[in-house]
Amino acid sequence: MRDRAVRVVSTYFLPRDLHPVAWWVWALGIATAASRTTNPWLLASMLAVVGHVVVVRRGSEPWAMSFRLYVYLGAFIVVARVLFRVVFGGAEGPSIVLRLPEVPLPAWAAGIRLFGDVSAESLLGGLYDGLRLATMVICLGAANALANPKRLLKSMPSALYEVGTAVVVALSVFPQLAESVLRVNRARRLRGSTSTGRRALRSVVIPVLEDALDRSLRLAASMDSRGYGRAGDATPRQRATTGFFMVTGLVGLCVGIYGTLDATTPGYLGGPMLAGGLVIGMTGFALAGRRVQRTRYRPDRWHLAEVVTAGSGVLVAALVLTSGGADPAALNPSLLELSWPLLAWAPLAAVWIGLVPAFLSPPPVPPHDELDDVPDDRLPTHDHDRDDQPVGSRA
Amino acid sequence: MITLDAVSFWYHGQERPTLHEVDLTLEEGELVLLTGRTGAGKSTLLGTLNGLVPHFTGGHLQGRVTVAGVSTHERPPREFAHLVGVVGQDPLAGFVTDTVEDELAYGMEQLGVRADVMRRRVEETLDLLGIAELRRRALRTLSGGQQQRVAIGAVLTTHPQVLVLDEPTSALDPTAAEDVLATIARLVQDLGTTVVLAEHRMERVVPFADRMLFVDADGRVEVDEPAALLARTPIAPPIVRLGREVGWDPLPLSVRDARRRAGAVRERLEVAGAPVDPPASTAPPLLQASGVVVRYGPKVAVRGVDLVLRPGTVTALMGRNGSGKSSLLWAVQGSGPRQGGRVAIAGKDPKELSATRARELVGLVPQSAADLLYLETVGAECATGDVEAGAEPGTCATLLESIAPGVDHARHPRDLSEGQRLALVLALQLTAAPQVMLLDEPTRGLDYTAKATFVAVVRRLAAAGRAIVVASHDVEFVAQVADRAVVMAEGEIVSEGPTRDVLGGSPAFATQVAKILGAGWLTVDEVGAALGRTP
């Protein structure tokens, strides 16, 4: 027991990639909290927390660099929301800050207003609303930047393994297609075809598709001869049972969801159906997974650091939601009268819990070319120096 | 281990069988070398060994293939994954994952190998193939030779009893190919894996081969000892052709063997005198390029290269994969990027001309020649080619007929043989009547016979006063076709001069004949001609 504790402590901060699900749970937790508040202080601190963790804990892979795009998207959302209030007239509230001439619209467009008076309250409303949406989007971006999407697919339940592989393969097709298009387009110039229109399209599309088809056939042959989709020893009867469970479960789920969303359906079609479908579907899943004879190479394990990371996200969501129950005004500042939004300490403290992974998670593995070519005895000895460097300073 | 019992195979709609009554038993631990003309059914034969043929390709298989006692009729290929490992020509096309380590583990995951065993085998295989430092690299960023070694490793991890390799070196430069073949030889000698290998650089593997198979045009398969079979097959590496020419018996199979027996021949050749090349052309150059620079972002592909092409001269552009050969050709043609330097042909820079005008001055056949083809029949391609070039109708068809006689105009370009497809693209490019023709890796996928035909075509084009550039890492081909050779490395020219000086003077680029008889002799034909002059 003690040995185990020693092992956990001594290996805790060794560089490794955290389980992708841990990052997703963490990010979704903060996103959930963000969905419940329009308080700009809280939202801004969420953004700060998420941004800091991403900068400190992301690797150097291409998807890690995508975070910036999500930030741009977030900024765009905020600006768009505010502009909408100006264009489609936001005159709720007493303090008018901008008087624009109203564009008269025909009768059929009743209910829509173009320009006109703009109040500070409605501008602020747009800002808060946009900020909330932007924070949620940026949280998703953070998960995307921190978790290797391919490893995420790999940690799917084994019953879904084959679907996962198909998705991975499909994803790798796109860069290849782009490459083919570039190559063929360049080759077209060699034939002197500068034509545009249908014939040009054809001279690009046909070689590209032929190439893609060839490639996928060869890939399929390779996968087949390497054992993809081996039946193992499941009997047809077992397969039928699994299939029955899965389909019944899915039907139950669909009916259940419909029943929950549509208030006019009888009650027993809602919750109970949903629960029943879920149970049956999960049984099918478990059955299918048990029969899969596949194993995983170095699967991502769920260690203490994963629990800490995911737990911090869940805690943020739970604490912000409960504090909202106790004091709704702290989460959604009133827009009826113009005033500084109040800052309540309880939800703010809850949000800062989201910062825990920045300190209590292992750093990402450094890129291969930095270390792999160095013989072991010449590796830099002060590993801590490496940790303390802000990894994200590249961004 | 694997038994083929009277196996015949037809593709749908074909009258003649691709394989005809093949009987074969693969013993444990042997290396079997498979040869035959391109398109003779080598790949088909390899495909039958794990059931990819006919489960995957369609067609009709007669007879019985059994792997470890189970017929491939009864189970799909995936059920033989633990017994037969297959490596294809293009490793990149067969990769399922995207990093080296994952790829090595993929096969084992499918077979349900225990996690700790997987971990151990991945480490062992990384060391065995010498790719340990690549473990976390993305597969796409590896060089061709590294990719091929990873592909071999990826099937080795499942510990198959038979390893099937279909021309694993066809896309590699000489050094990378040697690496891969040396790896295979090591597997056979150290691990005792049964290996079935289709390979056209057979001289590297023949010394290790226990048996050799030859697939002839009718789909029949001859099986014999390598030395005995090589004495009579129509395709043979230069070393064997040299042995036949001077009447060695038994035939030497390795350069070392041949060298030890070449003493007498060398003396006779000394009497005959070394071959003399025609004097280098001094005609005014057709194309002059100076200081060509090509960069892709921070990466410099071509660093200020000068190139002078004279009429009637064939220039070979050599160097390892990624040394900037293709980039240089594309830049000179004007269709590729060029960040610096000047190119002048007939006083004009092709980059500043329209695509149509540029190809009238300088034509290029790219590495993947099929990229230029998009119509359903050869006839339609030729007709469009005439329109695109503004040439008389029928120009392209006539050119095609002179390059590759007898191509059926109703066929789909994809159904042509590798050599015919190359001829078609070459004819399309020649329709615009350029005086300078650039060929990027034209001999890929051509066997010895097809290559000899292509050499004649290129020489004829040059004799008509054109300047031709061939980028190639096939030294035997370069020795036969080129007057001058230019060797590139890291975007710079490292050596340049008459082919005989460049190839003979370097062990890496020496032809087999040069390795056996000394730097002055490059090809079997030269030796034959010289010996004919002496009694």
- Interatomic CA distance for residues A179 and A170, integer angstroms: 15
| Facing residue for B77 by CB, picked from A169, A218, A225 | A225
Mean pLDDT of B413-425: 86
Residue B306 has pLDDT above 90, yes or no: yes
Residue ranges covered by each domain of chain B = 2-235, 287-518
Asked if A298's CB is within 8 angstroms of B119's CB, the reply is: yes
If pLDDT is split at 50, 70 and 90, which confidence band does B271 have?
A: confident
Q: What average pLDDT does chain A have? A: 80
pLDDT value of position B451: 87
Alpha helix (H) residue ranges in A226-235: none
Nearest-CA neighbor of A46 among A306, A320, A310, A309? A320
Chain centroid, CA B2 distance in Å: 29
- Interatomic CA distance for residues A75 and A69, integer angstroms: 10
- Window A:205-264, CB contacts with B under 8 Å: 206-207, 210-211, 214-215, 218-232
Is residue B219 within 8 angstroms of chain A, CB to CB? no
Residues A374-385: b if buried by 16+ CB within 10 A, e if exposed: eeeeeeeeeeee
Side chain identity, residue B230: L
Side chain identity, residue B1: M
> How much of chain A is helix, strand and coil, in % rounded to 5?
70, 5, 25
User: What SS3 string covers A319-344?
Assistant: HHHHHHHHCHHHHCCCCCCCCCCCCC
**Dihedral angle at the C-alpha atoms of B301, B303, B304, B305, nearest 10 degrees?**
-70
pLDDT value of position A385: 40
- Interatomic CA distance for residues B49 and B126, integer angstroms: 27
Alpha-carbon distances of A9 from A5, A22, A28, A366, rounded to whole Å: 6, 19, 27, 21
Q: Which residues of A touch B56 (CB under 8 A)?
A: 220-221, 224
- Window A:130-189, CB contacts with B under 8 Å: 150, 165, 168-169, 172, 183-184, 186-189
**Dihedral angle at the C-alpha atoms of B135, B89, B86, A168, nearest 10 degrees?**
50
| Facing residue for A297 by CB, picked from B105, B335, B359 | B105
Alpha-carbon distances of B495 from A113, B293, B485, B502, B506, rounded to whole Å: 76, 18, 8, 7, 10
pLDDT one-digit tens code per residue, A208-253: 888 888 888 888 888 888 888 776 666 777 777 877 887 888 888 8
Please name the fold of domain B2-235: Rossmann fold (3.40.50)
Side chain identity, residue B406: G
B25 φ/ψ angles, rounded to the nearest 5 degrees: -125, 125
* B86 CA: distance to closest CA in chain A (Å): 7
Residue A389 has pLDDT above 50, yes or no: no
Q: What average pLDDT does chain B have? A: 88
If pLDDT is split at 50, 70 and 90, which confidence band does B167 have?
A: confident
Q: Is B438:B333 a contact under the CB 8 Å cutoff? A: yes
Q: Which residues of A touch B81 (CB under 8 A)?
A: 225-227, 230
- Interatomic CA distance for residues B511 and B474, integer angstroms: 9
- Interatomic CA distance for residues A205 and A184, integer angstroms: 9
* Residue A109, burial from CB neighbour count under 10 angstroms (0-12, 13-18, 19+): exposed
Q: Which residues of B touch A297 (CB under 8 A)?
A: 101-102, 105-106, 108-109, 115, 118-119, 122
Token output for B230 = 């090589």
Contacts of A166 (CB under 8 A, 6+ apart): none
Angle at A75 between CA A71 and CA A63, to 5 degrees: 20
* B242 CA: distance to closest CA in chain A (Å): 38
pLDDT value of position A395: 34
Whether B287-518 and B2-235 are alike in CATH topology: the answer is: yes
* B450 CA: distance to closest CA in chain A (Å): 24
What is the separation, in whole angstroms, between the first and last Cα of chain B?
52
Residue B533 has pLDDT above 80, yes or no: no
Q: Is A76:A62 a contact under the CB 8 Å cutoff? A: no
- Interatomic CA distance for residues A57 and A11, integer angstroms: 17
* A369 CA: distance to closest CA in chain B (Å): 9
- Interatomic CA distance for residues B517 and B515, integer angstroms: 6
Q: What is the CATH number of domain B287-518?
A: 3.40.50.300
- Interatomic CA distance for residues B199 and B35, integer angstroms: 7
